[in-house]
Chains A and B, each alone.
Chain A
Amino acid sequence: MSPVAAPDQINPGIDDLIADDKRHHDNDSSKDQTMVLNMGPQHPSTHGVLRLVLEIDGESVVSCAPDIGYLHTGIEKTCEAKFYQQVIPLTDRIDYLCPMTNNLAYSLAVEKLLALEIPPRAQYLRVLLNELTRIQSHLVWLGTHAMDVGALTIFLYCWREREDIMRIYENLSGQRMMTSYFRIGGLSLEPPLNFYKQVQDFLNKMPAQIDQYENMLTGNPIWMGRLKGVGYLSAADAIALGVTGPPLRASGVDWDLRRDMPYSGYEKFKFDVPVSQGGDVWARYQVRMLEMRESIKICQQALDGMPEGRIVADAPKIVLPDREQMKTQMESLIHHFKIVTEGFAVPAGEVYQAVESPRGEMGYYVVSDGTAKPYRVHMRNPSFATLQALETMCKGRMLADVVAVIGSIDIVLGEIDR
């Protein structure tokens, strides 16, 4: 086929889309009762600034067009103007519910370009922190999802446990949310002395807390009524629409990057990948609850098997020297000065590194032209693709189910808009 060249043409917007739809339906007498409803961008259950243009017939959804971009800050463009190490704080802000996972994906991509060997202790700590992040993100999901469909109490319980993880983050990195704890080549700081005990205490109490959430929700008739059979997505549709992570596994596709394409030493850990055949909101709820329990198992293995050694790779031209060395050794001082003022050159090439974030496949595509600044950084974010499946899940259902479905796909607008 011959593509039509009109690259700079400004296309009509979503409002024209609505007008088109209206015109279309005006000719169809069976649909003349439909109305267009704007949900968001300021709506508590859209989890950020998502605008949904819903066409409804009575209370059932006829079509649903997501309008995104309200949080677009051009992070990909900003990355091109920074040194490689300066990109890490930007990655925290993409998916702000799992900063460590973003850090990991970006660090792994650049380390692949540099062919850096990461010491086992740093790998274990990275895995530990990633699984804590997964629990933390799933807690936010559970609290807000339950609140959206009317179970208010659970929100407070989830926030209570999330606070424990926030304290662990704060103790570790000095920050609660935008941790920027990872570095290219390892981690930024040695964990404080009470860190392991703090994590162990959390892991000891967490299974009972998850039981408590399940006691409140799993057998609750209202909760079941709102979730069961709602927002069905078949396995074939999930794959065709680019759905990854828990929604994909809840549709019966047994795929988890941690197990199937392991990174950062995940092949050394034993865990199950929860899969459900249900395909509905209820199945997604069950998969995530089981995932939290699996994450606790992985954290425990990481704590028990924590190897000795350094937390950064042996690469003085890439990893900042520690303070003591920098103040006493001339060579370290020079490396420090060079890294901070000029960055480090990364060999030319392109890599794609995907990790399993709490929401699905998070991939970083980094292109280097051999200088100290990335030529191009692109993030493949799970919510962005999963949002495409929203219409399939909502079509023909009741308007109130849209809220349950949005909660079940666990979107973060920061990573959709970037």
Chain B
Amino acid sequence: MEAAPDPKKLLGKEAVFAAFPENAAVVALSAMATDAKFDRNEFTITVARENVLAAAEALKTAGYNFFEDATAVDWYPSEPRFQVTYHILSHALKQRIRLVVRLDSENASLSSITSAWPSANFYEREIFDLFGIHFGGHPNLKRIMMPEDWNGHPLRKDYPVEGYR
């Protein structure tokens, strides 16, 4: 990680982009980012739903070569309800970037990034299974954890912890 000018917290696109003009992810996503955060030594950059695949490609070109993880957070009942989070690592820069996409509950779908990183395959299936977020262009979008005839998506906040009895 680069030395932070302020170790605390930087909120908002302008503040983060002004503090780290050299950062590879900042350069790569400067046109697409809608929001950014630098908190606890971790970069978070938010992009719009339609830009997710373009952002993934841009990060890959910028040297973030390794897709680590994708998951979602359900902020029910507030809107936009879903936050899809990707963690992408650069082996050369020894840096990690968190890419965030926010989705409304009515249209919980976005493009798959499996064309950029085939390793996103299982992760997107898991999000589809447990959150019910649809990934357009995914090669094999099926439930992965739950039985195929299961109703509902267990990691949503309106799904009871004990399940439906």
Binding site for B on A (CB under 8 A): 1-8, 10-14, 17, 68-69, 72, 74, 76-78, 80-81, 112-113, 115, 239-242, 253, 255, 260-261, 349-352, 354, 361, 363, 365, 367, 375-376, 378, 380, 384-385, 387-388, 417-418
Q: Are B143's CB and A11's CB within 8 A?
A: yes
CA distance A376 to B110 in the complex (A): 21
Partner of B69, one of A76, A77, A349, A352: A352
CA distance A241 to B66 in the complex (A): 9
CA distance A77 to B147 in the complex (A): 17
Q: What is the number of contacts between chain A and chain B, taking CB atoms within 8 Å?
A: 133
Q: Are A352's CB and B161's CB within 8 A?
A: no
Partner of A387, one of B98, B122, B161: B122
CA distance A260 to B89 in the complex (A): 12
B12 in the interface, Cβ–Cβ < 8 Å? no
Which A-B residue pairs are the 8 nearest by beta carbons? A242-B119, A3-B136, A13-B148, A380-B69, A3-B109, A378-B71, A72-B145, A69-B145
Q: Are A3's CB and B111's CB within 8 A?
A: yes
- A5-B107, A7-B133, A352-B69 known; 17 other A-B pairs, CB under 8 Å? A1-B136, A4-B134, A8-B132, A10-B148, A12-B148, A72-B146, A74-B154, A241-B118, A242-B66, A253-B91, A350-B44, A352-B87, A376-B71, A376-B73, A378-B71, A384-B122, A387-B122
Q: Which A residues are in CB contact (< 8 Å) with B53?
A: 1
Nearest-Cβ distance from residue B158 to partner chain A, whole angstroms? 12
Q: Mark B108-124, 1 if CB is under 8 A from A, else 0.
A: 11110000011111110
Partner of A349, one of B39, B66, B132: B39
Q: Are A11's CB and B142's CB within 8 A?
A: yes
Q: Are B68's CB and A380's CB within 8 A?
A: yes
Nearest-Cβ distance from residue A101 to partner chain B, whole angstroms? 16
Q: Are B65's CB and A365's CB within 8 A?
A: no
B23 in the interface, Cβ–Cβ < 8 Å? no
Q: Are A352's CB and B149's CB within 8 A?
A: no
Nearest-Cβ distance from residue B9 to partner chain A, whole angstroms? 8
Q: Which A residues are in CB contact (< 8 Å) with B58?
A: none
Q: Are A367's CB and B73's CB within 8 A?
A: yes
Q: Are A388's CB and B122's CB within 8 A?
A: yes
Partner of A388, one of B109, B119, B141, B146: B119
Q: Are A363's CB and B39's CB within 8 A?
A: no
A-facing residues in B25-50 (Cβ within 8 Å):
39-40, 42, 44
A-facing residues in B61-92 (Cβ within 8 Å):
65-69, 71, 73-74, 85, 87, 91
User: What interface size band does chain B fall in?
Assistant: 35 or more
Q: Which B residues are in CB contact (< 8 Å) with A255?
A: 91
* CB-based nearest B residue for A377: B71
* CB-based nearest B residue for A115: B40
Q: Are B110's CB and A3's CB within 8 A?
A: yes
Q: Are B132's CB and A7's CB within 8 A?
A: yes
Decide: A349 near B40, CB < 8 A? Known: A1-B111, A72-B145, A388-B121: yes
Decide: A352 near B42, CB < 8 A? Known: A12-B142, A13-B148, A69-B145: yes
CA distance A232 to B120 in the complex (A): 21
Q: Are B122's CB and A363's CB within 8 A?
A: no
Nearest-Cβ distance from residue B92 to partner chain A, whole angstroms? 10
B102 in the interface, Cβ–Cβ < 8 Å? no
CA distance A6 to B94 in the complex (A): 38
Q: Which A residues are in CB contact (< 8 Å) with B119?
A: 240-242, 385, 388
Nearest-Cβ distance from residue A356 to partner chain B, whole angstroms? 13
Partner of A3, one of B117, B120, B135, B148: B135
Q: Which B residues are in CB contact (< 8 Å) with A354?
A: 68, 96
CA distance A12 to B140 in the complex (A): 10
CA distance A242 to B146 in the complex (A): 22
Q: Are A365's CB and B136's CB within 8 A?
A: no
Nearest-Cβ distance from residue A307 to partner chain B, whole angstroms? 25
Which among A17, A77, A115, A241 has the highest number of chain B CB atoms within 10 Å? A77
CA distance A173 to B114 in the complex (A): 43
Nearest-Cβ distance from residue A378 to partner chain B, whole angstroms? 4
B155 in the interface, Cβ–Cβ < 8 Å? yes
Q: Which A residues are in CB contact (< 8 Å) with B133?
A: 7
Which among B109, B145, B149 has the highest number of chain A CB atoms within 10 Å? B145
Which among B66, B110, B120, B135 has the highest number of chain A CB atoms within 10 Å? B66
Partner of B145, one of A10, A17, A417: A417
Q: Which A residues are in CB contact (< 8 Å) with B151?
A: 10
A-facing residues in B125-165 (Cβ within 8 Å):
130, 132-137, 140-151, 154-155, 159, 161
Nearest-Cβ distance from residue B98 to partner chain A, whole angstroms? 7
Q: Are A365's CB and B134's CB within 8 A?
A: no
